[in-house]
């Protein structure tokens, strides 16, 4: 959901993905096949600092939370962490079309890792981590707002996101001291309908 009025920009995002046939790599060189669930929620607040001709520029700050659960043949793990966002959207408009680039730095903090086992369980807190996001939203206006009650647009937004949690503190799992770090990226595209009030 997105709201934009003159120079103010507000947005809420919710995302869910089912991940199948992923490959997990470990520091000892081994790997395993995993699947999992990933969801995140984010809220953003921005201010349009430039709007001349066909080009606009909107820096924004955000706060979010993500939860990532992985399942393999032998175990499962859970990574959950809040994050802060420093970002910017640059947009070019031509008639009913617009194309933009949405880039963001993601700062992960206060995250937790949990891994239950048959005979023992492990849990630990993550250090500070970093990530990034790049999205290219393309929109087409079907019904311009102008004098009507609302406008309708179609959008397509290919994206790439990368998350690196940083390492956990050392914790004991089945009598062995371990440290865990999750790092990896997602890519895809979002398609939908936007309403402008």
Angstrom distances, CA of residue 143 to CA of 97, 128, 152, 158, 197: 12, 45, 5, 23, 12
pLDDT tens per residue, the chain (197 residues)? 666 667 888 888 888 888 776 666 666 666 667 778 889 999 999 999 999 999 999 999 999 999 988 776 666 778 899 999 999 999 999 999 999 999 999 999 988 888 765 444 667 888 899 999 999 999 999 988 776 677 888 999 999 999 988 877 776 666 667 777 778 888 888 888 877 76
Query: Domains along the chain?
Result: 2-196 (2.40.128)
Q: In sequence order, what are the residues at sequence separation of 6 or more whose Cβ sits closer than 8 angstroms to the Cβ of residue 187? A: 158, 159, 160, 161
Looking at residue 115, its pLDDT comes to 76
Looking at residue 181, its pLDDT comes to 77
pTM for the model? 0.82
DSSP state of 148: S
């Amino acid at each position: 959901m997105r709201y934009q009025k003159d120079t103010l920009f507000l947005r809420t995002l919710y995302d869910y993905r089912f991940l199948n046939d992923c490959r997990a790599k470990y520091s000892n060189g081994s790997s395993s096949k995993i699947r999992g669930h990933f969801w995140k929620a984010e809220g953003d607040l921005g201010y349009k600092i430039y709007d001349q001709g066909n080009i606009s520029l909107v820096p924004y700050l955000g706060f979010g939370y993500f939860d990532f659960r992985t399942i393999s043949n032998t175990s499962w793990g859970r990574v959950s962490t809040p994050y802060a966002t420093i970002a910017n959207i640059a947009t070019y408009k031509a008639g009913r079309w617009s194309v933009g680039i949405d880039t963001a730095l993601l700062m992960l903090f206060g995250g937790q890792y949990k891994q239950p086992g048959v005979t023992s369980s492990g849990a630990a807190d993550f250090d500070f981590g970093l990530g990034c996001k790049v999205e290219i939203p393309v929109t087409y206006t079907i019904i311009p707002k102008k004098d009507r009650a609302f406008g309708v647009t179609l959008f397509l937004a290919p994206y790439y996101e990368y998350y690196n949690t940083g390492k956990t503190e050392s914790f004991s799992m089945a009598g062995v001291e371990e440290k865990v770090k999750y790092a990896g990226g997602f890519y895809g595209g979002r398609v939908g309908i936007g309403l402008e009030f």
